[in-house]
Chains A and B, each alone.
Chain A
Amino acid sequence: MAKIKKGIPLIDQHDKNGFWGKFGGNFIPETLKKPVEDLALLFSKLRKDKKFIKERDYYFKNWVGSPTSFIKLHNLTEHLDGAQIWAKVVSEANGGAHKIYNATVHSLIAKKAGKKYIVGDTGAGYAGKMLSMAAKKFGLKCKIFMGAKDIKRQKPNCDAMRKNGAEIVPVYTGSQTLVDAVSECMRYWVSNCDTTHMCVGSTVGPNIFVKICGWSTSQISRELLVQIKEEFGGIPKKLKLINCVGGGSSSFGFWNEFMHYDKKQIEFIGVEAAGPKKSKRHAAPLTYGSKIGILHGSAQYVNQNSEGQIEETESISAGLDYPGVSALHCFLKDTKRARYTAASDEEALNAYQVVTKFENLNPSLEPSHAFAEAIKIAPKLSKDTIIIVNSCGDAHKDRDILKQRLGKF
């Protein structure tokens, strides 16, 4: 069985071909080999460069707004009458979600690489919005690839991207969602890799993009580790870190610093999107035992038919609506370090209502999936169990869907 090594960051625990166990790698066209290698080399230098780290930390602190707060949800805890419910309010970060960390780091790298253009994919529109913000901040020209279906359902984020001066390229192929946006973005990069930097919006894609994204979002757990120690005077004996999982960037970043703790002490729970009740087109490849396949340059568990065609997914949450999942999460599943489950559209909507009823918090549909699991398990757990949910996005972008489904926002 695959094992996690101690003392080495998980993003570095791949073999020379870029595989974490059976997952990851670089299934890319020849044209991208060199740009990917150049990027890997540059990144390996930059992460050891104190000046670069200082620069990153400067922008994280003064522009992103680190640290985001860590709060107890008193009313929800009382209501559920079991484990304590806490939230890491990552949605406080500039732009309203965790995607800002990856966008900032990619823009900084693009500058160091001397690139003037940056392109990225987006599902819920957060990755695109944040990349457009960072591109504007760092003086890069920006193009965002987005499925036509997602453009319709995530209008507020599209407005923000345009306001930041980014061009949104609608993608009409396939299911017209994230999976096709990533493909189209990669195609664009194949054609323009000499002048353009590509930012993959999650911990997916060829090996180096998984690494850069994981390295960037790990800011979340770096902050949380300090906050937990301050709050509890140490690490609690029973801790559960619950996070939604689409591509897996927020959850990986939320867990990274706690990787070497025993899972009996700190349990990782990843919540995927089960889609509409009774739907078979879920976006939960880890929960429902999808087979390993190749998608967007990486071996991973992915929804596909028997011959290898990628299957369409269905979820109320555009950010989780992806048939595959990060190689890192596949590895965490196989090593049994994390446990994965899924919440349906209805459960997520219900969780949204419960949380907003009791707390002054407005989680988007993605973290509402994580809250659904917290609400489900908390009543059965002891009062000294600490559940922390990563509230990684703000529901502002979901206002149209929420209005339509719940009649109010």
Chain B
Amino acid sequence: MTVSQISLAFKNCKKEKKAALITFTVAGDNTKKNSFKILNSIAKHADILELSFLHNCPIADGGQIQNSTYRALRNGTTLKDTFQIARKFKNNNPNKPLILMGYYNLIYQSGENNFIKNCKLSKVDGLIVVDLPWPENKKFAQKCKKKSINFVQLVSPTTSKERMKKIIKDSHDMIYYISMLSTTGGKLKVSPKTILKNYAKIKKIDKSKNLVIGFGITSKNISSFKKADGCVVGSEICKKISKSIKNKQNPVTNVSNMVKNLRKRLS
């Protein structure tokens, strides 16, 4: 297997001695066009981009991402649109890794193989499926791996060490550590110090794996996580889009500036 773009992104960051910045935006937010424009403009600053495919019963998302999701659903964004946005982005930025994130029902309705086929056609680099935990995801993760799509495993503060080891063993090029007990976008209720302590414990299990931290990370606290392999910011970006619309400003410019600033703070 050739080295994945996700792997390369982490390698490059390590060379430059910085943590990878991973952004999360919602497909079709606030419009189909803008969501592509946002991806395209933040690609300059972000190392890996996550794009969520929509589901209207998101059981693990906080208010900000829900707002973005419902906004995108209201403007008629479909799974097909999501793949089109992804494809257009990858055609413009062939070396920038793009990860799709969402809930399993959309994959289930597409059929796993068909969904993977569409990912390949859009040149998607990885997948995060929020409600398909290990070991239930083993088969699907293997299917993804066969097609050179990274299946990103998640671990959380409730994951036992025993389980953690098994998950890490089955993981591909990136593992996502959920910083605290929360839905996305919750206020950071644990100190960065504690999060980093847990992070170090997980990292110790297999140092070769790229481990990123997500949930509750914002411009305000991101500089505390410089030592991690990577940090994910999502809800703050979604919030920025909501605010931009409210203030009749251009969400593309605003988000782009925000991500530029995030990059600065994480370096």
Contact = CB atoms under 8 A, between A and B. Distances in A.
B132 interface: yes
A191 B216 CA distance: 12
Nearest to B82: A307
Given A173-B70, A193-B181, A294-B108, A29 B59 contact: yes
Nearest to A17: B136
B56 interface: yes
Given A29-B59, A33-B158, A35-B158, A190 B182 contact: yes
Contact of B158 (A34, A173, A174, A183): A34
B159 A34 contact: yes
B16 to A, nearest CB: 30
B181 A183 contact: no
Nearest to B80: A307
A98 to B, nearest CB: 26
B73 interface: yes
A191 B178 CA distance: 11
A297 B59 contact: yes
Contact of A186 (B59, B103, B105, B136): B59
A30 interface: yes
Interface in A291-325: 291-297, 299, 304, 306-310
Interface in A1-51: 17, 25-35
Contacts of B160: 34
Contact of A295 (B57, B70, B178, B181): B57
A117 B53 CA distance: 34
Given A173-B66, A293-B108, A307 B59 contact: no
A194 interface: yes
Main SS of the interface on chain A?
mixed
Interface string B133-171: 110100000000000000000111111100100000000
A252 B45 CA distance: 55
Contacts of A29: 59-60, 130-131, 133, 154, 156
Interface in A162-197: 173-174, 179-180, 183, 186-187, 190-194
Nearest to B109: A308
Interface in B169-187: 178, 181-183, 186
Given A34-B160, A190-B182, A191-B183, A183 B59 contact: yes
Contacts of B205: none
Contact of A31 (B54, B62, B105, B158): B158
Interface in B33-69: 54-62, 66
A308 B104 CA distance: 9
Main SS of the interface on chain B?
loop
A30 B130 CA distance: 8
Interface string B96-134: 000000011110111000000000000000000011111
A193 B178 CA distance: 14
B182 A28 contact: no
A28 B133 contact: yes
A33 B103 contact: no
B9 interface: no
Contacts of B182: 190-191
B79 interface: yes
Nearest to A294: B105
Contact of B157 (A31, A307, A309): A31
B84 interface: no
B223 interface: no
B217 to A, nearest CB: 16
Interface in A276-299: 291-297, 299
Contacts of A32: 158
Contacts of B108: 292-294, 299, 308
A186 B61 CA distance: 10
A191 B60 CA distance: 9
B59 A30 contact: no
B161 to A, nearest CB: 11
A340 B141 CA distance: 37
Nearest to A324: B57
A27 B186 CA distance: 22
Given A187-B59, A193-B158, A307 B106 contact: yes
Nearest to B67: A173
Nearest to A173: B66
Given A187-B183, A294-B108, A31 B56 contact: no
B215 to A, nearest CB: 9
B183 A308 contact: no
6 contacts: A27-B132, A33-B156, A193-B158, A304-B105, A304-B109, A309-B73
Interface of A: 17, 25-35, 173-174, 179-180, 183, 186-187, 190-194, 291-297, 299, 304, 306-310
Question: Closest 8 CB pairs between A and B?
Answer: A308-B109, A34-B158, A294-B105, A31-B156, A308-B105, A29-B60, A27-B131, A30-B154
